[in-house]
Chain A
Amino acid sequence: MKFDLVLKELHRSEHDLGTLLMHASDRHTTDHEIHHTGRELATWCRRHLREIAEIGTEFDLDLDPEPSLDSGPLEALQQEISRRTGRRSAPALLLLTDLREIYVSAAGVSVDWEMLAQAAQGVKRHDLLAVTKRCHPDTLRQMTWANAMLKASSTQILVS
């Protein structure tokens, strides 16, 4: 059984997604919907990471339940830059690439949850299945959000 591999990969991909969300939030402080919602959605990743770490102990894994999602000392700087460059159109393009990255990353996480759920069903692990049922729908909403924000922003950014 390779549950440990899937859980390790999931822990890594959730961590990546959470970091990307926090990053986008810091980079786009003048876009309130990105700034606030990005932070909100990153808390979902935090919740998932805790769940993954907890269930991971069942498979002899020692995963960090609360890894940092912040960009550290750069965070404040990032926010300041974001405020100051609000007038330029380049950050708008950056927004599209950030959202694209989030979407792709969330799709990866979603597939990881899918695989874990399949495996859990195969060996009838109810506890593992319950974790996927709690977490996977959040991932799908994170994906939908990134996609919706792309749809809402891309026309203006690309045609102007």
Chain B
Amino acid sequence: MSTTDHTDHRISHPWGDRTPYGSGEEWPVRVDQHLSDGILEAQVDRWVQTASILHSNGDALDIAVKDERIVGVRGRAEDRVNHGRLGVKDLYGWQANSSPDRLSRPLIRVDGELVETDWDTAMERVVGRTNELLDEQGPSALGFYTTGQLFAEEYYTLGLIAHGGLGTNHVDGNTRLCTATAAAALKESFGCDGQPGSYTDIDHADVIALYGHNMAETQSVLWMRILDRLAGPNPPQLICVDPRPTEVARHAAVHLAPRPGTNVALMNALLHELIVHDQVDHDYLAAHAVGFTELAERVEPYTPEFAADICDVPAEQIREAARLLGGAQRLLSTVLQGFYQSHQATAAAVQVNNVHIVRGMLGRPGCGILQMNGQPTAQNTRECGGDGDLPGFRNWSNDAHVEDLARVWNIDPMQIPHYAPPTHTMQMMRFAEEGSIRLLWVSGTNPAVSLPELHRIRSILSQERLFLVVQDIFLSETAQLADVVLPAATWGEKTGTFTNVDRTVHLSEKAVEPPGEARADLEIFLDYARRLDLRDKDGDPLVKWTDAEGAFEGWKECSRGRPCDYSGLSYDTLRGGSGIQWPCTEDAPEGTERIYVDGAFWSDPEYCESYGRDLVTGAPLEPSEYKALNPEGKAVLKAAEYLPAHEVPTADYPLHVITGRTLYHFHTRTKTGRAPSCSEPPPRCGSSSPPRTPRPPGSPTAISLGCAPRAAGCRRRRASPASAPAWCSSRSTTATGMVRAASNRPTRRARAQPPTS
């Protein structure tokens, strides 16, 4: 084991040095560390345990504190996720914490201006308006829009207050625009969220397929694990599906670059080949799956030639990829935004699940699926009820689940809205636009920059009749529109837990005090509940905890017996050592590395989180339909036909634009843009075209495009660099909303500019 201070080196050498290893071996430890200039290890006062908050990998690290300030970080050698390694954003992103423009006092709007005030005044304004609206209209007037970056305790408390206390159905996270597809796809195939994979599958896999997942930039430490396998004996072969020539593509045995929006056609062709060549585990299917006949019928027309025309991928490449998938002994698949933020997102991601079910490759070392998350705590948004799903993967359309939740919360089941699917973000914005949501509380996210149709979203958020509460660490673009701004503490300044995509739960401890009067998000929610005087049915306070550990204990009880079972965890077991994978119970105190072993799914009609939806219309299945389809709780092979995108290139709008994330930045750059080391790398903005794309006549080899989305109302807008969306004009690209709008929409070439890099 070696400890390396990479400082500047790692900006230009982001994946660090190789530590090769072979199939089935343990990934060697390599501890990465960065301390501020002039600080020596011996001068550090204390190291405080946490995990990464600037991407979804869940790298465990310790914060170095000197004189009550954060002065650096070091990877945790003993952690199962990163074995000591850190990514670029881990190494430097914390610099933003001490930014001079952090919010440090509450703000309220007075005569159109935001002015500083005290907490009492700010909170009374929020509580006063909440009570007025409850009297006038009821809970349907209240909406909560949160993030993928708070802690489990905070989401659970917010969900309890909103669903159980106030009784509104309008709770969602920005995870809706990010990796909601991951959850949706898992629900379709397995009846429940929860990853059927583990990072250790990389140690065993002989084929790794990355679907729309530029892992090298989005989860750089996981990519280091793959690079180390590639550098070792008997390396795995990679399949890369991505229209762009990415770092992943460079290492792939086969690189399929489909035309944007055609993933379902490509996946159907891969499945077609597996079935035609009978690379199908018939015993597994007979014992553990339903729907094979329909799947085989559906993919029957999708010959490689048929898909080649649709996807603009040579048929022989499709065959080659299918040969690899079909010959794999231990197949690991990962999926991310190239599928999630593209046309027919869920349908495409579901077909990746189908490959594994058809091949019987689940629940064994090296055989897993990682429907990746984009944000560090997105998994908790989903588990704890922060995105509208009921806590503990409870099924909103199963009355017994709602009653069980009401028992945990000690309230009447009718108090918990379950008349329809939870309201998703865009629907909440629509309700705010119509004037029926009149108080919107935004925590830890920046919809004024990240949602699609920004002109419209900004005008919605600016409405006089909408009372906008923004809880954030900076005066974001959204906060500038708010009626009340609540200054929050962030990572390193508060305690809580969060969970990554392979179900590893980490404890994140408070290292330093937040600036000024800023408070932990949990404290703010608890204060709101206290001031509203929310009660359970016995007249006791609805929220029964006053700190993070108490909230965690509450969440543990809520999760008991559900798939994401935390009941065997505690702050003590999470302190020191490695993060632990749920389900973690008294019977499995070390956690569970692999779920769905021997086809034991969570899809029983009485237990499952979801009955699924129609993959084209989105209509939820009725309980009776699901029971008829899957009475014994097997995996569901859901077939989907390819449908052309809603908007395809035309003469006026000849190009597809798709987007991706860069190594150095995250989301709207609220944090990484303020971390000097992350902002220093040379700009890499610009466009990269797949090799076969004909370039517009007269354009230089590398071009930067001013873009205007072909959305309603934008048609006549003159695009110029100044009016180009943030993702195009800045170095950062975001994986959230606005990009989604842009990513699905072909755009018009405004004018070619000199290359930016």
Residue numbers of A with Cβ under 8 A of B are 29-33, 36-37, 39-41, 79, 83, 86-89, 91-92, 141-142, 144-145, 147-149, 151-152, 155-157, 159-160
Contacts and interface: CB of A to CB of B under 8 A. Distances in A.
Interface in B135-170: 137-138, 140-141, 169
Contacts of A79: 712
A156 B712 contact: no
Interface of B: 137-138, 140-141, 169, 419-421, 423, 426-427, 430-431, 433-436, 456, 614, 616-620, 643, 646, 712-713
A33 B613 CA distance: 14
5 contacts: A30-B456, A32-B426, A89-B434, A141-B614, A155-B420
Contacts of A144: 614, 617, 619
Given A87-B433, A87-B435, A151-B419, A141 B712 contact: no
A125 B694 CA distance: 51
A55 to B, nearest CB: 22
A31 to B, nearest CB: 6
B419 A87 contact: no
Contacts of B138: 159
Contacts of B137: 159-160
A145 B618 contact: yes
Contacts of B427: 33, 152
Nearest to A31: B430
Contacts, number: 76
Interface of B, secondary structure class, is: loop
Contact of A37 (B420, B423, B617, B712): B617
B433 A86 contact: yes
A148 B426 contact: no
A88 B434 contact: yes
A104 B292 CA distance: 34
A87 B434 contact: yes
Contact of A40 (B140, B423, B435, B643): B643
A144 B625 CA distance: 12
B352 to A, nearest CB: 23
A156 B419 CA distance: 11
Given A160-B137, A160-B431, 5 more contacts: A36-B646, A144-B619, A156-B140, A157-B436, A160-B435
Most buried by A among B430, B434, B712: B434
A30 B430 contact: yes
Nearest to B438: A160
A148 to B, nearest CB: 4
A40 B614 CA distance: 13
Given A156-B436, A159-B138, A39 B618 contact: no
Contact of B617 (A29, A86, A89, A148): A148
A44 to B, nearest CB: 9
A148 B616 contact: no
B712 A29 contact: yes
B617 A145 contact: yes
A141 B617 contact: yes
A155 B619 contact: no
A42 to B, nearest CB: 12
Contact of B713 (A33, A41, A83): A83
Contacts of A92: 434, 436
